[in-house]
Amino acid sequence: MPQRQLKAQLESLEEMLNESEAPLTDEERESLQALATNIKARLLAMEASEEAQADPTLVDGVNLMIGQLSVRHPTVAATLRSVAQTLSDMGI
């Protein structure tokens, strides 16, 4: 169940990234895309091996982006908080 939830959150994040009206800078957009790609790779690895392994760098990356975006982009930051919580619930 958490994997489905994480997939839905990633889809929501990608929709925000693809919105042409989203006031994200190119750097913010690239950082978020790299983070989403990293999380997707983790999901694929988990689906293949069915094991969740702790990855503090992934969670740290999410938390860093939350800190950077919380003031200018509260909606994106809220989505990232949900992603961080789901990753935590999954033991990652």
Concatenating the DSSP letter of every residue in 17-79 gives HH-TT----HHHHHHHHHHHHHHHHHHHHHHHH------HHHHHHHHHHHHHHTTT-HHHHHH
First to last CA, the chain: 15
Percent of the chain with pLDDT over 70: 90
Q: Would you say residue 92 has pLDDT above 90?
A: no
The CA–CA distances, whole Å, from 77 to 1, 14, 28, 45, 49 equal 22, 13, 12, 25, 30
What does the pLDDT read at residue 64? 92
pLDDT digits (tens, 9 = 90+) for 40-61: 888 888 777 766 566 778 889 9
What does the pLDDT read at residue 79? 92
87 vs 46: which has the higher pLDDT: 87
Lowest mean pLDDT across 37-41, 43-47, 73-77: 43-47
